[in-house]
Structure formats: C-alpha cells, structure tokens
Structure 1
C-alpha cells in the first residue's frame, strides 16, 4: 500500500509529461525557460491573483517573501509552533525572531484569538500556516493585521488548491507561499515552490530576489538568492495541472469519506465545542485538499506499529513542535504552547492521495479502529 500514490498519477499524465519534458530537452533553456513563464501565468489564473513567481522550493518562497518585505535583524514574525521547521527557520535565517502563538485545538491552525497579545513594536509580519490542507482563519488574521498595519504571509505549503470562503489558498493575504515538493497536493519531481501576490512592487522584488537581486543581467539592486524554478520542474507541473482540479475534488471527497467511515464506527468526531477530536474537522466555509489525513489517537506508537504489521504505512506530522526544537532553545522558546504540545503527542497521518479507492479506505479504517480500540 502506498502512503502517497505517485505511480497511478504518472500513468495518467505520462504522454503529456513526456512531450513537456522533451520540449525542454530540445530547446535547452533549463533555467527560467518559457515553461516557467507559462506555469506562472497558469498558476496565477488558477489562484486568482495577478502574479505568480516560481521559486526553487517552498522554503525559498518563504525566505524570499520576507526579504521582499524587508524583514531582518531584530524584527519579529508571529507564527505557529505546530508546523514544519521551514516556517520558523526562514524567519531566523534573516536574523528575525519567530514569536510562536498556539494553535486552535480543532483545526490545528494558528489561533487568531491569541495573536494580538503577541504583537509588539518589533512585529513586522504574521505568518499563519494552512496545515494539513485546510486554510487558516485568514479573515480574522487579516483583520488583526490590518489594525496593526502588518502584512500577512500565508504558508500554503500544504494547502495549494484549497479554498477559504470561495477564494483560493495563496490569494488570501499580501503574499502566499507554497511548495511543490513531490508529496504535496501539486507536486513536482524535485524541489519547487512559488509566491503569489496582487502587489506589483512586491512581485518585481520577488522576481529580483530569486535571481541574485538582479533587475537585469549583472545589475543587482538588492541582495538576493539563487531561488529560480527549474524549467524541467515547471514542465512537469504544467502536465500535472491538466488533472489537478479533478484531483482537488477527489482529495476532498476521499477525506470526507474517511471521516464518515470513522464516525460510522463510533469514532469521536468533529465536536467544535471543546471535546477531543479524533477525526479532522473542516469548517463548512473551507475546502480542504487533505495534504494529510491526520487523526488524533492515544498510544500512537502502538497504533502505528499494529498498522505497519498489516502493511498500512503511517507518518507523524509533526512529533515535536518547532518551539521545542533544540535549535530554538534559549531565546526563541517563549511561553508554553499546551495545545501544540498535546496535539504533537497524538497526531497520526494515514495514506492519502487522489487515487485511494473505497475498499482500501475501508481496510485502513477497520485496522485503525481495531488498533485504537474504537
């Protein structure tokens, strides 16, 4: 059983993919070739913004976004401790300080009710993460940011294709950043990412930053990065975009089916009134792409081991909050984050991809129910 089934997807796109790759091999423009511009236009239209700027990875997209906003030494950026380290790592690499704010216990996204108390005179941005494929509460976050005249950067590494109140992830704030790592909802065959914005000046800055700060060849206006999106990866993503809208629908359907199957077995469900949540909760105004289908279970290691014995792969995203990582001890840890700490001990991700059939889902749910004593 595949945790993420890229082979079935490849079989669907193989003819288009080979044509796209062959075209790159023949024209030989491997860096910022025509496919990069074509992809950027396609993605900007899909998201619903004026500008998409391809990047070499989701991490570089975050780094470039903060550089474009001139975030640097001594500044503070508010973010979540329950995420992949790249979110906070990029803040620290610029000499700024990640200020962690705990998460909502139901969606696992940054809790807007806790943000305002963390804002200081040094705060320069708010960086929410749209975790597991569901957008954070961006209207509430944007309202807080507007009151304090702060930009919002959406870390949409796991939510590309998702929607929030009818708007696409990456079109919900000043800058949206995503990753096209192979395991993401829209994945390349290597590292890749992108930034999205409606701000013309920021878009120009991002294009310069990704290419060593150049506005033209050998003319450097600013410090930049080598963060260009490879033409071959752009070609691969163009082939995948042909089926991506259908895959978004499949992901939403399969995620909802998982939840229905678990709840039919008596699993504790989506009670947003404060009860522990076993199955993921997706707000009615959201469309999740379920980058992961993540449960909370007691005795996670034992449950995962029992599933592994039956050939069912699992993963943990994430076992240690970023705020507790050794690299951030001593000055960056701040207060306790009890919700993040509790969730990190319990989360377990199950196989999830657009080609997961009903019989396989039923087998997985039955195995989890038995292992967890549901």
Structure 2
C-alpha cells in the first residue's frame, strides 16, 4: 500500500502524460516553453486571480512574495508553529523575525486569538515592526481567512497565504490561493496538485507585485535576461514539469478532488468513534493533502504506528516537533507566546494513507486494523 499513490495516478494518466512529455522533448523548449505560459493562465483562471507566476518550488514562492514586499531585518512575520519548516525558514532567510503563533486543535490551522495576542506583544515590546501574517492551509483546509484578514486590517498587516497543501480547498465559492494579498503553492509530487519534481507558484491580483516577482525569479531581469535591474534568484518552473501539471490539473478538476473527499469521508464515518478525526469547518472545503487523526498520547501513537507497519500500512507524522523548537531558530531575537496546542498536537498527530486513487479495499484494511488495535488494547488506549 502506498501512502499517497502516485504510481496508480501515473498508470491512469500515462498516455496523456507521456505524450505531453514527448512534445517537450520533440520541440526542445526545456526552459520557459509555451507550456509554462499556458499553465500560468490555467492556474490563474482556476484560482480566480489576475496573476500566476510559476517558480522552482514552494519555498521560493514564499521568498518571492517576501522579496516583493521588501521584508527584512527588524520586521516581524507571524507564522503558525504547527507547519512545515519552509513557512518560517523563508522569513528567517530574508533576515526578518518569525513570530510563532499557536493553532486550533480542531482545524490544525492558525488560531486567530493566538495571532492577535502575538501581534499585541510585538507592539508592546517595540523591538520589531509587524509586517506580514503567513497563514498556512494545513492538510488541505484553508485557514480562517475571514478572521485573519479582519486582524490584518486592524493592525495594517499583509497576508501571505501559504497554500502548499491547500490548493483546491475553498471557503464558500472562493478557492485557496486567492485569500492572501499574495498566495503561494507547491507542486511537490505528494501535494494535492503535484508534478514529477519540484515546482511552485505565486498568485496575486496586484500588478506591481506580479511584475517584481517575475523579475526576481529570473535573476532580477529587466527588458531581457541579460538586463538585470535588481538582485534576484534563479527560480523557474521547467517546461517538462509544466507539461505534466497541465495534464494533472485536468484530472484534479474533473474527478480527483471529489474522489479524495469521498475517501476522507469514508475514513471519518468509520473512525469517528475510535479516534479523534480531523474537522472541516462549516462552509470550508478541503483538498485533503493529509488525513490526520489524533491519538491520546505519544506512546499510543508509536504503538499504533508499529502495529500498522506490521500490517503493511504506511503512516507519517506531520509534525513531530514545533517550529519554535527547531534548532535553526535557536537564539533568534524574537517574541515568544504560549504554544501549548501545537506542543500537544506534535505528540498526538498521525497521518493515514490517502489519495484520490486509494481503493476501498485498502481503506477497509486501514480502518479494520485501527479498530482491531484498540479492541485488543487496555482501556487507557481509548
């Protein structure tokens, strides 16, 4: 059993993907081919924004946004404590201070209450200038943007949506990657929409920022690639990856989102009385990058993970350590607040196999094994 079955996806899409790759190989336009331009238009239309700028990976996408806003030393950027390292790393790489914010236990996303407390503390200490909120759409569900944007407006902050795991999610009819002043996503293979290597994209309705990010991603180019008007980076999505993504985007829109939501619902209906299942807020729609359950404590999680592995069932822990406790951030001049929910989640969370291509028999095996594990364990495991 695969944790996220990319092999089965390729088998189903093989004919179209192989042809798309062959077209690139035949024309020889490996960098900045027409497929990249077409994909950017398709992604912008799907998300519902004016500009999409593709780049080399999701981390670069975050960096490009921060570069466009000239974020740097002395600036405070608010980041959820329960997320992948890149959300805070890109902030620190710009010389700014990542201020870690707690999350809600039910959604795994940034807590608006914790965010506002962190902003007030930064303002009170007067060491840093609050500039940006990085809101992460963790595990596929958009963050609470109605509340986050209310807070951002109150304190005059920019919102950067980290939609690396959220592409395809929605609040009402509005799609993920359109909630930020700038929004980003990742096309890492295991993401909801993934390529066959690294890739990323930035989304915005702002013409000036879009122009800056197009320049920054190609060495700060001006009129052409040999006219360099600013210091930039080398961060292009190659044509092969764009060609693959064009095919995958069609499947993603046509049936994959519905299929993965059906699979998540099957887990929820069968496991809701056994473990704590993920909760989707009313009016929200998840693209289910992960299906993450919560166990009572770290020892039970470890025992269950070992038991499932013995049965041929892969699992993953996202995430075992809070961002604020990562060695790389030690000694940084930052502002600290209570992060108890994140600390607890890191001891409880366990992600189960899930993809649009998971078969019902595979899910039945996962569900059966989890139920059997708890049936044969002492009551303190429940």
**Please, what TM-score do these two structures have when normalized by structure 1?**
0.94
Q: How does 1:113-262 map to 2 (within 5 A)?
A: 113-119=113-119, 120=123, 122-217=129-224, 218-245=226-253, 246-262=255-271
For residues 202-224 of structure 1, what are the alpha-carbon distances to aligned partners after superposition, in whole Å with 9 as ceiling and x for unaligned? 11111111111112222222221
- C-alpha separation in 1, matches of 2:372 and 2:163: 34
**1:289 and 2:287 matched:** yes
Query: Would the aligned equivalents of 1:261 and 1:362 in 2 still touch at CA under 8 Å?
Result: no
- C-alpha separation in 2, matches of 1:371 and 1:67: 49
CA shift for structure 1 position 333: 7.2
Query: Would the aligned equivalents of 2:118 and 2:337 in 1 still touch at CA under 8 Å?
Result: no
- C-alpha separation in 1, matches of 2:371 and 2:2: 20
Aligned to 2:46: 46
For residues 190-237 of structure 1, what are the alpha-carbon distances to aligned partners after superposition, in whole Å with 9 as ceiling and x for unaligned? 000100111111111111111111122222222211011111100110
- C-alpha separation in 2, matches of 1:28 and 1:204: 27
- Number of residue pairs the alignment of both structures matches: 363
- C-alpha separation in 2, matches of 1:252 and 1:154: 22
Q: How does 1:1-374 map to 2 (within 5 A)?
A: 1-119=1-119, 120=123, 122-217=129-224, 218-245=226-253, 246-263=255-272, 266-267=273-274, 278-297=276-295, 298=297, 299-331=300-332, 332=334, 334-372=336-374, 373=377
Query: Would the aligned equivalents of 1:79 and 1:100 in 2 still touch at CA under 8 Å?
Result: yes
Which aligned runs of 4 or more in structure 1 are off by greater than 6 angstroms? none
Secondary structure of 2:46's aligned partner: helix
**Please, what TM-score do these two structures have when normalized by structure 2?**
0.93
Query: Would the aligned equivalents of 2:134 and 2:162 in 1 still touch at CA under 8 Å?
Result: yes
Gap regions ≥5 residues in structure 1: 269-277
Query: Would the aligned equivalents of 1:78 and 1:98 in 2 still touch at CA under 8 Å?
Result: yes
Query: Would the aligned equivalents of 1:210 and 1:226 in 2 still touch at CA under 8 Å?
Result: yes
